[in-house]
Amino acid sequence: MLTFLYWGVPIFVFLSGAWVFISKRKHLLLTLLSLELMVLSLFLLLFIYLNLINYELFFGMVFLTFSVCEGALGLSILVSMIRTHGNDYFQSFSVLQC
């Protein structure tokens, strides 16, 4: 039962984040939040795995650093999109527009 909590819950959280990322394509903020949920569940899986094999947690810190950079990049794209288009709908955003 305890192994299900160790491995099942983070995998369920990752799959639910992936489902939200795939199904909700209307707002950019919603997709960014689902990506962050997926990254946090991957961090939890990495933390559990590194503790299981009694390894250093340095790789977890590197992973957190990259995830923070990914989150900052996503928020900067969101802010620039809201400044130029006025909202975060994908329907009002055209890639071919300069």
| C-alpha angle 32-88-81 in degrees, rounded to nearest 5 | 90
Mean pLDDT by 10 residues, the chain (98 residues): 78 92 83 91 90 86 91 89 78 59
* Structural domains of the chain, with CATH: 2-85 (1.10.287.3510)
pTM: predicted TM-score of the whole model, two decimal places: 0.81
| pLDDT at res. 97 | 56
Question: Which residues sit opposite 27 in a β-bridge?
Answer: 89
**Sign of the Cα pseudo-torsion (72, 77, 80, 85, in order):** negative
